[in-house]
Amino acid sequence: MKAILALEDGRTFPCQSFTGPGETGGEVVFNTSMTGYQEILTDPSYSGQMVTMTYPLIGNYGVNSEDIESDKIQVSAFLMREYQNFPSNYRSTSSLADYLKAEGILGIDELDTRALTRHIRNAGAMGAFISTEDLNPSSCVKRARKIPSIKGQDLTKTVTTKAPYYWTNGKPIICKPATTGLNKNVWKCKGEKLSVVAFDFGIKYNILRCLESRGFEVVIVPAWTQAHTVKAMEPDGIFLSNGPGDPEPVIYAIETIRSLLGYVPMFGICLGHQLLGLALGGKTFKLKFGHRGANQPVKNLLTGKIEITSQNHGFAVDAQSLQGKNIEITHINLNDNTLEGFRHKELPIITAQYHPEASPGPHDAAYLFDEFKAMIKKKVIV
């Protein structure tokens, strides 16, 4: 079915839909991963975005119930050069097209993804509109220009959990105290396992798998949970998750994090890293086209080693803005020298802009979960 992709700057691309008729809009971005499309589709950090895969052939291994990172598809559209409608993999239970259709998400192929990616790299990520019904370029460009910018939007509130829950044996289980309030009695294994409150700004399942595999008992709370509630729970550590969009409008989380600084060890990744930077008095800015892929090189300044990392973010913390705030920069991106991680020189705080849990991607940075555990154990023993 013929379709058109129109960008807000006037550029248009002919393409086709392999999921049937439809229209949608959002910020158009690109991901350089060669595999892992199901994890990408279900990553809440992509909320409000149309994702273009730079790898040319997508869909060849189908989809399954195990490779998901949230309870639904999060992207507003999925764009590729060539869709493979005949998957071949022993784990496959369905085709990518059927998966997208079931959730009403447009799948687009026969698109010149190289030209689109080059355009985004030169002009920056921007609003876009896709239609199979209105194929008039000028009309679609006008509709693309009406797409609200991600900058200034609080997208966290659209993806966060509505109620607290446990992560037990690889599955979410709603907390019964959700209606009566959270307190120190919420923990089922207090004294046996280290307890962690994880703020859900758009958390990925594999983060929770990584925390559980380190022996943590984890309770996930909504993004708007206040500091007094967390303190009433008396956790051993606090985790700040990934999430979509601009961190600056998430004022309620920034204020809560600021109130919790130094309370217990804290680990923030992706949006959590950015929110920690803002809580400590730093500033953030929007990257031209962001970092999205499973092959981003990062240098660990503490060890001198290079890590290949999985990333998905369009905003970054301004490293200069953290000067004089007792912060040590620990990681930098080798493509553009942007800040990828820091730690506080006095308080038990570590961060990573990238995704140490990967999924998809390499496991070079998985050690950060072990560092978080070591930081908590040191605090608990003291």
Domain boundaries, the chain: 2-144, 156-381
Q: Which residues are catalytic?
A: 270, 355, 357
Same fold, 2-144 and 156-381: no
Contacts with 50 (C-beta within 8 Å, 6 or more apart), sequence order:
24, 25, 26, 27, 28, 29, 75, 76, 77, 78, 79, 128, 130
pTM of the model: 0.96
CATH architecture group of domain 2-144: 3-Layer(bba) Sandwich (3.50)
What's the pLDDT score for residue 177? Answer: 56
Tell me how far CA of residue 290 lies from CA of 79, 320, 357, in angstroms.
Answer: 17, 19, 19
Residues facing 311 on adjacent strands: 293
What's the pLDDT score for residue 382? Answer: 46
d(CA 56, CA 332): 29
CATH architecture group of domain 156-381: 3-Layer(aba) Sandwich (3.40)
d(CA 343, CA 376): 14
Digit-by-digit pLDDT tens for the chain (382 residues) are: 999 999 999 999 999 999 999 999 999 999 999 999 999 999 999 999 999 999 999 999 999 999 999 999 999 999 999 999 999 999 999 999 999 999 999 999 999 999 999 999 999 999 999 999 999 999 999 999 999 999 999 999 999 999 999 999 999 998 875 545 799 999 999 889 999 999 999 999 999 999 999 999 999 999 999 999 999 999 999 999 999 999 999 999 999 999 999 999 999 999 999 999 999 999 999 999 999 999 999 999 999 999 999 999 999 999 999 999 999 999 999 999 999 999 999 999 999 999 999 999 999 999 999 999 999 998 866 4
Enter the tokens of residue 280.
Answer: 């400590």
Amino acid at 163: A
